[in-house]
Amino acid sequence: MSTTLPPFEEIVATHGPTVLRVCRAVLGPMDADDAWSETFLAALRAYPTLQPGSNVEAWLVTIAHRKAIDVTRARARRPVTAGEVPDVPAADAAGQPGSWDDDLWQALRDLPGKQRQVVAYHYLAGLPYAEIAAIVGGTADAARRAAADGIKNLRRTYLEGATS
């Protein structure tokens, strides 16, 4: 096992896409890029103290989880404007294959928070349930149950909704 850490740029290139997928699944497409940036800024500051041989992906997902909590809290504190809302959504990637538009994000957003987090951390980041339990709290069995319930709900709302 190596006693030195790889350059930080290599860590970003290797794990950046996974962290972005996790941020999108947990927070949605609007706040994911900011959370991703904040995750890697925090990771850059803490990287020199990371022990060689550490699970870098789990470490980054833990940081992303904490940044997602920060974003969620900040979102709750933002003032809500009471103006006229346009009937047409803003022009972005909506409706294009692979985009995070209505259907998938709606199905993920409708999951309870812990189910959404566990599904993202396990199925998008590939973390084992024991590490997920350390991130979100609880036991590995509870994380496994939350993931199973989340996938069951996604199948019911997203997959079955797409066929009907």
Segment 21-42, tens digit of pLDDT: 999 988 988 889 999 999 999 9
- Taking residue 7's Cβ as centre, other Cβ atoms within 10 Å add up to 10
Q: Does residue 66 surpass a pLDDT of 50? A: yes
Q: Which two tokens stand for residue 119?
A: 């599904």
Q: Which two tokens stand for residue 106?
A: 């709606």
Q: Return the amino acid letter for 93.
A: A
50-54, 71-75, 103-107, 152-156 — which is least confidently predicted? 103-107
Distance CA 118, CA 13 (A): 24
Report DSSP state, residue 132: H
What is residue 94's predicted lDDT score, i.e. its pLDDT?
46
121-141 pLDDT per residue, tens: 998 888 999 999 999 999 999
Nearest CA to 78 among 35, 136, 31? 31
Q: Does residue 93 surpass a pLDDT of 70? A: no
Distance CA 91, CA 39 (A): 27
